[in-house]
Each structure stands twice: as C-alpha cells, then as structure tokens.
Chains A and B, each alone.
Chain A
C-alpha cells in the first residue's frame, strides 16, 4: 500500500479524495442533525415516562432504556432495518434504509439523553419546587419557567459528551449499508489501495468535533449568566 504518492501528485490526489468523500459528508451530517432533532425532544418525553408515578409506564421506559444501553447500537440498527421483514414479513422500500438509520439512532440517543435529563431535573434543589408551590405556579409553569432552564445548565457537559460520541457513531450506519462519509472513505481506500482517505476521514471527524466542542462551550458560557 502506498502511503504517500509522489509529492507533485499529492495535492490533486488529496483533492480528488476530498471530493469523493464530500459525497458522503451530506449523509453523515444528515444522520447527525436529524438524530439530534428527534432524540433531544424525544429524550425529554422518555425522561418524563421514566419519572412517572404511574409504575407500569416507568417500568416499561426503564426496560427500554436498559435494552438500548445494554446492547450495541450496530445491533439495534440491524433490528430496526431487518425487523419489519423478519418479524412481520413487511417488504420495506429502499428509502427505508435511511429511515431505519434515523429511527435507530434517535431511539438510541433518546434513551441516553433521557437519563441525562433525569439527572439534570433531579439535581434542581427541592427548595425550588417548594418556592414554586408557595408562589402558586402550576406544574407546567414550574417545569418550563423554573426547572427546565436549570436542568439545561446542569446537563450541558454531559450532553456535549453525548454529541461528540454521536459524531463518531454516525459511521455505524455502514452496518445496514447506508452510505455515509466513512463508508465512502473505506471504498476509496480499498479501490485505490491507499490509506489516505481514512486519514482524511479521521481529520473530518476531528474537525467536526472541534466545532461541536466550540459550539457547546459557547452555549455553556451563555448559560453562565446565573449560578
């Protein structure tokens, strides 16, 4: 395998690789943003279910969370993708591959976010709830006005970790042959017998996460207006 081509060829070669990978970047970004779009709010619902005083619901949600956290995401993607056919003999269309990725990722990340939210909600001091009670806020007012903003501040570091993991996890979509950036990188590497595309892919994840960390840090700074 050739690590570096001759110097004169290096730049055009790199450019060609980048252009090829660019074809997969859209898919990677798509998985990333759509997963956040669905999993962040879904996680809140899951957290409510987990904290519900209605025992059957909270037990069911607890089971869901423990399954999601106790099995590999790759396996979950396979189940979401092949499940409809093997379990219910439903023929899925080709677009379903994409839906399966988003459904699998969203269900997985919602479970993790739910546990983060729960910890963040429970970290809001009891005195805050009592002050709300005395002032006569309704439960909804209490949640959105008082608990939620404090929860957001509490959970930002944990959410940052999760989002950084998500950037890297997007590559798992290969498990059901959904072509994202890393799949392309592997294909190019194999076809051209060079490891360069993998380096470029690695650099992409690194820069992506650098941006994520920067954005999350500035949100954390924004939330520093109170303590």
Chain B
C-alpha cells in the first residue's frame, strides 16, 4: 500500500523555483533516502511533505487521502486528520527547552490526540527505554548531549504513533560518535518496518538501510532506484560528480 504519493510537485520562493516537478511514491514499510547537494531542495521537499510549506502546484496523497490536488489544499479539518499520519524529525531537534524529556514526549499525545494520560506515559517510558534514555525522563533538554536530544526528538515523534516518519538530516548537527547513535536507532526502526523518508549525507548508511534512494539536484529528482543502482552505479553525471566529491 502506498502511504505517500507525490505528483508533479512545484514550489517557488518568490522568483526562485526550488522544486520543479517532483513525483515520488512511498510504500508502507519502505525506507526512502534522499541525497543531493546542498541547495538542491531536499529540505523544501520534506517541509512540503510535512505541510510546513505550502506547495504551488501538484498533488500529495497520504494513505489514499488527497491533501493537495493540483495545488489546491483540502479543508483544515481534513488536513488535520491527514497531518496526524506523519511526523518530522528536525536537524536541530527543536525539543521544548522548558519541558522535561518525559513531558516533551507525552504532552502532545495527551493534549492534542487526547489519549489517556496513563497509557501515553507508559508508552513514553517504553520509548525512552528503547532509545537508551530510561534514566533521563526527568532531565531537561539542555542537560543532554546532542545525540540524546535527537533520540528524545525521535521518541517524541514516535509517541504520536505516525504511519510515516520524515527526517531532515537528523545527524548533521552531531559529532561522528553521536551520529552513530542516531543511525543505530534509525536502523532499528527500519528493521521494525517503520516507513521513513530520510534526507541524509551518510551515503554508506543510506545504502545499507534504504529500499529506495533518490538523488536530487536543482529542484529535480535526477536519479531514483535501488541503493545499489543509484549509489554504486549512478547513470547520471551529476549523481556521479556528487558521490565522487563525497568520497574525497
């Protein structure tokens, strides 16, 4: 089943056309990695998918329900329901600094989804345990390392029980050792068949975890396919040039 279908997506900032004609499918249980040079529109694509940006044209369909058709958004009520099907993890974590780890993870499920507090809390505890942060429930974000903060952010997203998770360079703000912590978590989620779209510069990681790799450049998808094809045998010149640069 397709959880996300994007067709002919277009997005401009004033005169700058950032996404030119993007079409992309994500099936249930799939891990899709997006590679590409800086400025190629990867974040913008993820932000359009997360509805933090408004698209100018094209369609987006979530779990079979259209949110945007030919650039026209559905009603607020319909979108609200659709928005609960995904969550986004940011490069800079964006945890709430005045909430403890536990409150960061549980506040929205309780007050937005109106779920039972006890249930949410016990889910939260389980998630923290899974993230190796069981002893950090009462800490504030500033008391944690970047890697720990990012794991809390992932737990916060997971506690909303989304069908899909989007990640925008989840390790770019982290040191190499801390990066490994996060990649390990992502790998575990992939093994549990969590549907994920990940913007990353970690090529080796993308190769090992992804069902599909997308290479973007200049607001277009220039190459798309199995990781072995796109990463090991790129057919596009720009993909080749980009991968070569990363190797150096």
Contact = CB atoms under 8 A, between A and B. Distances in A.
Contact of B97 (A130, A135, A145, A150): A150
B97 A134 contact: no
Interface residues of A, number: 19
B20 to A, nearest CB: 24
Given A134-B88, A226-B142, A141 B94 contact: no
A146 B88 contact: no
Given A136-B80, A136-B83, A227-B142, A149 B98 contact: yes
A131 B50 contact: no
A133 B52 contact: yes
Contacts of A227: 97, 140, 142
Contact of B90 (A127, A146, A226): A127
Nearest to B108: A135
Chain B interface size range: 20 to 34
A128 interface: yes
B112 A136 contact: yes
Contacts of B84: 136
A88 interface: no
Interface string A184-205: 0000000000000000000000
Contact of B50 (A134, A153, A225, A226): A134
A41 to B, nearest CB: 21
Contacts of B97: 150, 226-227
Nearest to A135: B108
A137 interface: yes
B66 to A, nearest CB: 20
A40 B47 CA distance: 37
Interface string B82-100: 0110011010101111100
Interface string A110-122: 0000000000000
Interface in B62-92: 80, 83-84, 87-88, 90, 92
Contacts of A150: 97-98
Given A136-B80, A136-B84, A227-B142, A141 B112 contact: yes
B107 interface: yes
Nearest to B160: A135
A227 B142 CA distance: 6
A130 B90 contact: yes
A130 B166 CA distance: 14
Interface in A67-99: none
B61 to A, nearest CB: 19
Interface string A121-163: 0000101101101111100010001100110010000000000
B64 to A, nearest CB: 21
Given A225-B140, A226-B142, A227-B142, A127 B94 contact: yes
Given A136-B83, A150-B97, A227-B142, A130 B52 contact: yes
Contacts of B244: none
Sort A-B residue pairs by CB-CB distance and give the 4 closest, nearest first.
A127-B94, A135-B108, A227-B142, A131-B94
Given A134-B83, A137-B108, 5 more contacts: A130-B94, A131-B95, A135-B108, A226-B141, A227-B140
17 contacts: A130-B94, A131-B90, A131-B95, A131-B96, A133-B51, A134-B50, A134-B52, A135-B108, A135-B112, A135-B156, A136-B83, A136-B108, A137-B112, A145-B111, A150-B98, A226-B140, A227-B97
